[in-house]
Structure 1
Amino acid sequence: MWINIHDAHGEIIGSYFAGSVTLEDWTEGPDLTVTAVLSCWLNVVPERSAGALWKTWSRRAPASMNDWVNLPLGQREGWIEVAQKCRKTSSPAKKDGCYVLTGTDISDLASFYCAIGEAMNGPGGYYGSNLASLDDCLFGGHGPAAPFRLVWQNSVVAMNSLSALPTHIKNKTVMDSILECFDRRGVTVELA
């Protein structure tokens, strides 16, 4: 079964898959409304902050870049989830034949994925939530496929934040892993 999220006009803007659905209770109200209680499993447990973001996006999808910047740490993961499920693609125009990633607001891994999503797919865009999904996105389907050129503006800010994050790979930072992922797929990254 698919659990659909609708916008204010009734259009489906996102979905979650639920499996092994069992109807536990069914109550009909006097105003012809129905309350159903279901038990099921979800292939993805929604991020805690996703519910509030779905309500916001159902009224107005992000129209400008960096709407995620003011979200507190821990809520940016919800932004990434909603962006992925919403599957919004409105690629920003390339500038001088390349995509531009702004590193100014990258302070944690989630903010990197928020920023790269918008760099590749415009406001509210998705382009991965971890290294494996970033690698998948580089093949296309969630925006531009590699190879391409990426100018990473204010990369020093991002580098300082991402290089300080813990990693399970000896002598390799998160920033190193991200750059290797791009390089492996033929993306030319210019750190500016």
Structure 2
Amino acid sequence: MSEVTMQAGCKLYGEGGVDDFWGQARDISGLFEPLEGGLRRVRLAGLNPDGRLLKCITLNNSKSAHLGNADLTLLDCGEVEIGSYFVADVHLDSIVTSMEGGGTYDAVVTLDCETILPGSGVTWNLLRSRELNRNGIWRSLDRRGRRAWLSVALNHHGYRKPSVHRPDLAYAIDGSHIFDESSFYCALGEAVNGPAGYFGWNLSALDDCLSGQWGAVRPMVLDWNFSQDSRDRLREDAQATIEYEGRFLEFLSEIFYKRNVTVNYL
């Protein structure tokens, strides 16, 4: 899966929430490229500062300043909010007047974010460019990439337009590309909620999703296509074998039974 290049910005909010707005940038880069030690040096282009950030710029005469913790909300290329991360110890390293004019700036900040998984940038950039618009894009990812995909899908879920679901709907899951636990959740998430859809990324999270408010209404039906081959591969998933003591499929069946999910193994 190749990187997507585009301009898509972000908003920054302090710990006071929406009433503590720090400003909006036209473009953000560097967020998904950790430095040694885990910090991230983030470039904010076309920044229109507000609140605490504007005050720091004014008082410090464009010099560096410690800003504190914040919520960084990602925007797509149409300035629609698509996800957010809590970022800690935001430090303004440098800021200059932007060539774009209009009172905007180009800034560099250093911050810490422990919840961005390695490889997440590829999936986020597809969402930011609005190119994540079909099922199956995750299939070319390796195990680490699929895990990152699921973390992005979870983060993005609350920003999606709600889908219409009703009881007794049948969802078809394509087992031909299920090779391990993470690929099972990738396939299930898009079966229920469409491209980049989330419906769990471990058994506990799946059980939570089946409790409601995550896109499917029980009772429900799951048509598991290519089930035999995919279940055989799940039995061979070494990581799931260790985590669930070789009982992943057994525990999965128990959850489906408890939550009133009828599974058709096709």
TM-score bucket (shorter structure): 0.7 to 0.9
Correspondence for 1:67: 137
Q: Deviations over 1:105-128 (max 9, x none)?
A: 001111101000011111211001
Size of the alignment, in residue pairs?
A: 186
User: SS where residue 74 of structure 1 aligns?
Assistant: helix
Asked whether the equivalents of residues 222 and 263 of structure 2 are also in contact (C-alpha less than 8 Å), the reply is yes
Q: Distance in 2 between matches of 1:169 and 1:22?
A: 37
Q: Deviation at 1:34?
A: 4.3
Answering whether residue 194 of structure 2 is matched by residue 125 of structure 1, we say: no
Correspondence for 1:106: 178
Asked whether the equivalents of residues 150 and 201 of structure 2 are also in contact (C-alpha less than 8 Å), the reply is yes
Asked whether the equivalents of residues 138 and 146 of structure 2 are also in contact (C-alpha less than 8 Å), the reply is yes
Q: Which moved more, 1:174-183 or 1:160-169?
A: 160-169
Q: Structure 1 pair 98/187, CA: closer, same or farther in 2 (3 Å)?
A: same
Correspondence for 1:28: 95
Tell me the percent identity: 30
Q: Which moved more, 1:173-182 or 1:161-170?
A: 161-170
TM-score, normalised to structure 2, is 0.63
Listed as ranges, the matches of 1:28-107 within 5 Å are: 28-31=95-98, 32-40=104-112, 42=113, 45-87=115-157, 88=160, 91=163, 97-107=169-179
Answering whether residue 242 of structure 2 is matched by residue 173 of structure 1, we say: no
Asked whether the equivalents of residues 106 and 115 of structure 1 are also in contact (C-alpha less than 8 Å), the reply is yes
Q: Deviations over 1:137-186 (max 9, x none)?
A: 0012221133211111111122011112213455x432222222111111
Higher strand share: 2
Q: Any stretches of 5+ residues in structure 2 without a counterpart?
A: 1-69, 99-103
Cα RMSD (Å) = 2.3
Q: Which moved more, 1:105-114 or 1:143-152?
A: 143-152
Q: Deviations over 1:25-60 (max 9, x none)?
A: 3422132424253545x4x52111111221121112
Q: Distance in 2 between matches of 1:182 and 1:122?
A: 20
Q: Distance in 2 between matches of 1:17 and 1:143?
A: 25
Larger Rg over CA atoms: 2
Q: Structure 1 pair 79/29, CA: closer, same or farther in 2 (3 Å)?
A: same
